[in-house]
Amino acid sequence: MSPGNTMMRVYATLKMRLMEGEFAPGSRLDPAELRRDLASSTTPIRDALHRLAGEGLIETWQNEGFRAPQISEPAIRDFYEWSNELIHVVIRAAARRPDHRLRARSSGEDYAARVADTFHQLAALSANHEHRRVVANLCDRGLILWRAEHRVIDDVLADLGAIEQTGAEGDWAEAGRAIDLFHRRRLRVVPEIAASLRDRSAFGF
């Protein structure tokens, strides 16, 4: 396998493991320690970690290496506020294409994957491809939070269902209000979400 292919394989594997919460918040990601697990030399691992750091999925400091994000309460609040602002931008773009709407949803889908797919769909309704790129990154970083939400918010699907319904109807004014409600409800329970993320047993450790 070529060095470039090895790096992409390592990158994809680490990204999946990060998004699934396999690494405890703040845990060190040492290329030398990951070698055997990833069946790779340290150079592709280090390259993959640098790429993941550039995407905001891990943290890095000079002389301190790489770590899984701490995901502090302020960072979670910043994420939800940014998510709200970004999805509103996307909805305004979607409203300029009245023939484009969200598709019907399968009720059996995993909640976190369903949030990601809904946001991806909204971005795809925009004619601006940059919206798709930044929403893809938002979804990569948000998956671990959406999994935590499912453990601390009662009837977590209700807010998401309102976004899906109004988006399917093309009622973008109501969709904007549903997006606001979705994010406000999560901002109110940031301490509980942060505590859930600190509980390693919640991720099966």
Q: Find the angle CA(88)-CA(186)-CA(91) to the nearest 5 degrees.
A: 10
If pLDDT is split at 50, 70 and 90, which confidence band does 3 have?
low
Rounded to an integer, what distance in angstroms lies between the CA atom of residue 109 and that of residue 70? 28
Number of helical H runs and strand E runs in the chain: 9, 3
Closest alpha carbon to 73 in 194, 198, 195: 194
104, pLDDT greater than 70: no
Mean pLDDT along residues 149-168: 91
Q: Find the angle CA(114)-CA(120)-CA(125) to the nearest 5 degrees.
A: 130
Tokens of 26: 């703040």
pLDDT at 21: 82
pLDDT digits (tens, 9 = 90+) for 128-148: 999 999 999 999 999 999 999
SS3 65: strand
pLDDT at 205: 33
Mean pLDDT along residues 79-104: 90
Q: Provide the mean pLDDT of the chain.
A: 88
Rounded to an integer, what distance in angstroms lies between the CA atom of residue 138 and that of residue 90? 13
pLDDT at 107: 55
The structure's pTM equals 0.85
Is residue 24 within 8 A of residue 200, CB to CB? The reply is yes
103, pLDDT greater than 80: no
Is residue 123 within 8 A of residue 179, CB to CB? The reply is no
